[in-house]
Amino acid sequence: MIFVTGGAGFIGGNFILDWLAESDEPVLNLDALTYAGNPETLSTVADDPRYVFVQGDICERELLDGLLAKYRPRAIVHFAAESHVDRSIHGPGDFVRTNVEGSFALLEAARVYWNTLGEAERASFRFHHVSTDEVYGSLQAEDAPFAETNPYLPNSPYAASKAASDHLARAWFHTYGLPVLTTNCSNNYGPYQFPEKLIPLTIVNALAGEALPVYGDGLNVRDWLYVGDHCRAIRAVLAHGRPGETYNIGGGCEKPNIDIVRAICGLLDRLCPDAGGRYERLITFIADRPGHDRRYAMDARKIERELGWRPAESFESGLRKTVQWYLANPKWVANVQSGAYRAWIDRQYGGAAA
Ligand code: NAD
Ligand code: TYD
């Protein structure tokens, strides 16, 4: 089986759903169910015999050792993290704890477990560390996109904590030989994203008739990738990536934030017209994020060249799917927002670990 951390979050949840749709291999999902973790995302596989869920913290070394000894996975795919830049500005402590200390605990547990394996299992074992483009810092308009060889220049507490975990992962390969793979991906969007990030926040606020906050001048640029394409890239790297290597993953789709917000408004005007007028009327420019990175863009030629991966979804098709998903799933959104999904957790799991 494979061992996934953070599988009740946005990308990890999509990854597990895709994995179980594509393969018969069982998945163990360890997730602390912070505010960002929602097991309702995985309700369709909750009773699947191939799926095991454990509520727990990646910082707890004994828990990690016990799970590795019990389930004997052939790979770890490490998504668990505090992931929201704005929250990292208000409370960086949680980011250092989970992203740095948690990744350290997981790498150490993996190393000890890996050393108990036979030769063939040691050779095929993989530790896949999921990271972000934000470790590379910020680009000027005229700069080339980030390549794997760019220096690390993280600017936010989130980016710094992810950069630290990338360095640990790299060192565990070079020093101990643990077969580590690292992927650095650009901004994701798609179903099941917590509505604190730009795209779901814009959709949810627009439907509620609330302001659509745009930071600063709205001209900060991100490189957007549909989450299903990210999950496919991770599967490709896990299967065929070279241990010790890092792979950049991106959508080749750079857009300023204001264009994203306007595109969502335009889609909603067509799919769900508001009697009050066009959704763009709700756009509200607000104070900028402190230290706001101006531009991210990924050079994803390495993963395309070595593994044949490239995005399948265009921004237009991906955004349409995403908006349609949020329109079709108001209950998921309401439960996330109201905190009612916590009651669902207690009912479903009773706080019990496996
Ligand atoms: P998310 O915030 O939606 O999900 C994170 C998950 O980790 C949640 O389910 C949460 O409960 C869990 N978690 C947090 N702390 C934990 C702990 N101490 N122990 C166990 N579980 C814990 O994040 P996401 O957007 O799905 O991102 C997943 C990974 O991908 C992260 O490592 C992130 O840095 C990386 N990434 C995200 C993006 C993006 O655009 N969202 C882009 C590139 C890389
Ligand atoms: P976000 O989704 O938080 O991702 P990240 O900061 O990791 O790139 O934000 C994407 C961009 O949108 C970023 O430039 C900040 C901007 N933004 C807004 O303008 N308004 C908002 O309400 C949010 C959440 C983000």
Residue 77 included in any domain: yes
Collapsed DSSP state (helix, strand, coil) of residue 75: strand
What is the longest distance spanned by two Cα atoms in the chain? 66
Q: Which residues of 80-105 are buried (b: 16+ CB within 10 A; e: fewer)?
A: bbbbbbebbbeebeebbebbbbbbbb
Q: How confident is the model at residue 349, as a pLDDT? A: 55
Burial of 152 (0-12, 13-18, 19+ CB in 10 A): middle
Classify residue 43: in a domain, yes or no.
yes
Q: Which three-class secondary structure state does DSSP give residue 354? A: coil
Pocket-forming residues, ligand 1, beta carbon under 6 Å? 5-6, 8-12, 31-34, 36-37, 57-59, 79-83, 98, 102, 130-132, 162, 185, 187-188, 194
Question: What single-letter amino acid sits at 78?
Answer: H
Each residue of 70-120: pLDDT tens digit?
Answer: 999 999 999 999 999 999 999 999 999 999 999 999 999 999 999 999 999
Distances in whole angstroms, Cα of residue 321 to Cα of each of 106, 117, 192, 314? 35, 43, 12, 11
**What pLDDT shows up at residue 118?**
98
- Dump pLDDT digits (tens) for 12-24: 999 999 999 999 9
Q: 82 lies in a domain? A: yes
Domain extent at residue 46: 2-188+226-251+296-313
Ligand 2 contact via 220 beta carbon (within 6 Å): yes
Once rounded to an integer, what is the mean pLDDT over residues 312-336? 96
What are the pLDDT digits (tens) for 166-211? Answer: 999 999 999 999 999 999 999 999 999 999 999 999 999 999 999 9
* Residue 127 in domain: yes
User: Looking at residue 62, which CATH number applies to its domain?
Assistant: 3.40.50.720
Give a yes or no: residue 78 inside a domain. yes
3-state secondary structure of 289: coil
Whether residue 69 is contained in a domain is answered as: yes
High-pLDDT (> 70) share of the chain, %: 96
How many folded domains does the chain comprise? 1
Q: Is 129 helix (H, G, I), strand (E, B) or coil?
A: strand
Mean of pLDDT values over 122-148: 98
| pLDDT band (50, 70, 90) for residue 335 | confident
* Residue 87 is assigned to a structural domain of this protein: yes
207 lies in a domain? no
Q: How many angstroms separate the CA atoms of 187 and 199, rounded?
A: 10
Please work out whether the CB of residue 201 comes within 6 Å of at least one atom of ligand 2.
yes
Which residue's alpha carbon is at the smallest distance from atom 41 of ligand 1?
188
Closest listed residue to residue 185, CA positions, set 142, 232, 220:
232
